[in-house]
Structure 1
Amino acid sequence: MTVFSTESFADHEQVVFISDDRVGLRAIIAVHSTKLGPALGGCRMYPYADEASALRDVLRLSRGMTFKAAAAGLGLGGGKSVILGDPRKSKTPDLLRAMGVAVNRLGGRYITAEDVGTTVDDFAWVRQSTRHVVGLPEALGGTGDPSPTTALGVYHGIVAGVAHRLGRDLRGLTVAVQGLGNVGWSLCRLLAEAGAHLVVCDIDPVLAGKAAAEFGAKIVEPDAIYAVHAEVFAPCAMGAVVNDKTLPRMRFRVIAGGANNQLARDEHGRQLREREILYAPDFVINAGGLIRVASEHEGFNRAKVDSQVEGIGATLRRIFELADREGTPTQSAAMRLVQERLGGSSKPGGTATSTGNTNERPLAERVA
């Protein structure tokens, strides 16, 4: 396995491999950028098929966190960590404490939090080994589960996307939600309350059944979600769901969801524009959770957090307008603005290399 020649490597500052046989820990920490501040990003635990898959995931996710923090106007960089293993079988307090030790060795360059396969309660154990952790339980001075805040930001983004593309609100529209984890479930609740019809899928049939009972959702098999008749597709599970196989099946008008790295490749953003499918760039729309946990690092201010999360919709509206004016994919329009804040240009998918402008205003304040 190589790092520098991996397709997903994009000028990452640091990649750390962790091994602790005593507790069965195999993990990778990727620090993509600390240009605007310490790298913040969640710790994911997942039964990857192999080490190369885990490396690709952590590199892509950490890069996306750099873009997400910049888009949200936060004084933070981007990082991520992954633990190789099944969280239902291998996650123990000793393993989590050992992960905290690994994070602590970086001396604050990387701040961790919950992610797929980990929970807020898990980080009470991580906190025993490092203070470089956010997204803690309220009993430990944290703000609790950030997932509802992520879902709220996605909801505001969907409202913005539907208004821009369809000129209407959500009542009576059909939204296809992929993944019913914490974010997807909270998003379903918000959409149902707004009067949207739901089509859902999840690898856990029990969760899908609960969504049908609680929200009146129609259930489809996971592979069928890409071809359902719905105005909006909200991917809230794993990344790379817009790809060569799925895109030709899609008839949506808007794609706006909570998953990271939804486009398998940059060219899929161009293909979405050609098909007149409006795409809400993932690193903009799903920043709500980051905004919330970042507030722990800076001092929690609920009013400020709520205002920033609501501002995700305004930021996206301006990105959509910029993309329309310039005839570019929305992903490209968002990236141009992110690179402006990072202070330079970069190769596609990379990070800025200049040491110039570090303007900290959110995108919503800077897009004409």
Structure 2
Amino acid sequence: MQLSHCPEYTPQHVVFEIRDPEIGLTAFVAVHKARYNVPGFGATRFWQYSSEEEALRDALRLSRLMSYKGAAADLPYTGAKAVIMYTEKAAEHRKEIFERYAKAVESLQGQFITGTDVGVTNEDVQDMSHHTSYVIGKNVDPAFFTARGVFLGIEITLQEVFGSREIRGRHFAVQGAGKTGMALLHMLKDAGADLIITDTNPQRREELRNEFPLAAICEPQDIYEAKVDVFCPCALGGVLNHDTIPLLQCRAVAGSANNQLCDELSAQELNQRNILYAPDYVINLGGLASVVDEFQYHTADADRIEEKLHDMTALLEDIFTRRRDSHMPPSVVADEVMQERLYGSVFTPTYVLN
């Protein structure tokens, strides 16, 4: 497979391929060299893809987002992402997969520093740590700090839309009840929110009925049409697209998922419908901030991370102010701000098309 066939590829990307056919290992590590001579930070995802091309494109897309997220958190590093393709064979050799993968990460000698993402458990991270020193998040809960940042971002978003940060009595549709989604659900519930929740796992939906007896639990396809104040995507990316946006009956979107927007036209469509979008990589930067804090200081400090989240809320307010003045979608404004932070000016990458 040629990188030039991937529209997400830019000259800033360096890609490493990791294979071990005997145990079913196929993985891609993409480092987005927005800054040179510094490590690339990005979690590892263990997920089922329809093809190697889809997996590679996901890694490329997410690594660029991680550069922007690092810039939003004012971190002196660049972005990266790794995806391990989930197959039945890989699942059967799970422990061996993560051991072999960790040894490959170690061989990169610090170019790539990783942790847990979708499909990767804390046990997997512990197994990896026996074979590489470049895995982080072992002694901090990034899901909690991701959710904490999203919660604070929701407050700023409510202020922008309704003139008040008050969550009590507001209605939220939360899509996805994984590690971060669950943490956010508990924060919203404790703040007095009215909740509509869904998850793609039927068993998980039944568990949610017991854990949140006052919440409405709906089928995955029905979450988009929920009449709420805020829609919170907390699962995988690409959920805001030309099929789903016309269904939305919310005033704002603010969630923890990465790459929520399918494309730039989706951002324009939300803007035209007067649905305020809180840029995902801005409000969900808490997880990255927490593991980088652990990396820099050897132990994560909640006060230092909270300071990063406070800075994030000021950044989000600035993005919304620029959005009002320019009438551009918040995601476009955010991208321009991050490009200025990374490159000193708005940067238009040169894509390889052949």
**Aligned residue in 1 for 2:346:** 345
Secondary structure of 1:310's match? helix
**Aligned residue in 2 for 1:17:** 17
Question: Residues 86 and 202 of structure 1: is their aligned pair in 2 closer, same or farther, counting only changes over 3 Å?
Answer: farther
Alignment equivalent of 2:233, drawn from 225, 232, 235? 235
Distance 1:283 1:155 in 2: 14
Alignment-mate amino acid for residue 205 of structure 2: A
Question: Residues 245 and 91 of structure 1: is their aligned pair in 2 closer, same or farther, counting only changes over 3 Å?
Answer: farther
**Aligned residue in 2 for 1:271:** 269
**Aligned residue in 2 for 1:357:** none
Secondary structure of 2:46's match? strand
Is the CA contact 2:238–2:259 (under 8 Å) kept in the aligned structure 1? yes
Distance 1:91 1:54 in 2: 19
Distance 1:29 1:321 in 2: 36
Secondary structure of 1:122's match? helix
After superposition, residues 1-368 of structure 1 pair within 5 angstroms as 1-33=1-33, 35=35, 37-86=38-87, 89-90=91-92, 92-136=94-138, 142-143=139-140, 145-168=141-164, 169-215=166-212, 216-299=214-297, 300-343=300-343, 344-347=345-348
Alignment-mate amino acid for residue 188 of structure 1: L
The alpha carbon displacement at 1:270 in A equals 1.5
Distance 2:63 2:92 in 1: 24
Distance 2:314 2:210 in 1: 33
Distance 2:68 2:350 in 1: 10
Gaps of 5+ in 1: 137-141, 351-368
The alpha carbon displacement at 1:212 in A equals 2.7
Is the CA contact 1:34–1:109 (under 8 Å) kept in the aligned structure 2? no
The alpha carbon displacement at 1:258 in A equals 0.3
Is the CA contact 2:34–2:342 (under 8 Å) kept in the aligned structure 1? no
The worse-fitting range, judged by mean Cα deviation, of 309-318 and 262-271 is 309-318
Distance 1:226 1:211 in 2: 18
Secondary structure of 2:118's match? coil
The alpha carbon displacement at 1:86 in A equals 4.7
The alpha carbon displacement at 1:2 in A equals 2.9
Is the CA contact 2:113–2:134 (under 8 Å) kept in the aligned structure 1? yes
Is the CA contact 2:146–2:285 (under 8 Å) kept in the aligned structure 1? yes
Question: Residues 190 and 332 of structure 1: is their aligned pair in 2 closer, same or farther, counting only changes over 3 Å?
Answer: same
Secondary structure of 1:323's match? helix
Question: Residues 90 and 281 of structure 1: is their aligned pair in 2 closer, same or farther, counting only changes over 3 Å?
Answer: farther
Secondary structure of 1:81's match? strand
Gaps of 5+ in 2: none
Aligned residues: 344
Is the CA contact 2:170–2:229 (under 8 Å) kept in the aligned structure 1? yes
Deviations 1:30-56 (A, max 9, x none): 011250631100000011111111112
Question: Residues 34 and 106 of structure 1: is their aligned pair in 2 closer, same or farther, counting only changes over 3 Å?
Answer: farther
Secondary structure of 2:5's match? coil
Q: What TM-score do you get using the length of structure 1 for normalisation?
A: 0.89
Distance 1:266 1:2 in 2: 25
Q: What TM-score do you get using the length of structure 2 for normalisation?
A: 0.93
Is the CA contact 1:12–1:30 (under 8 Å) kept in the aligned structure 2? no
Question: Residues 63 and 278 of structure 1: is their aligned pair in 2 closer, same or farther, counting only changes over 3 Å?
Answer: same
The alpha carbon displacement at 1:349 in A equals 10
Report the identity percentage: 37
The alpha carbon displacement at 1:249 in A equals 0.9
Secondary structure of 2:122's match? coil
Distance 1:161 1:109 in 2: 36
Secondary structure of 1:121's match? helix
Deviations 1:264-291 (A, max 9, x none): 0012112211111000111101101000
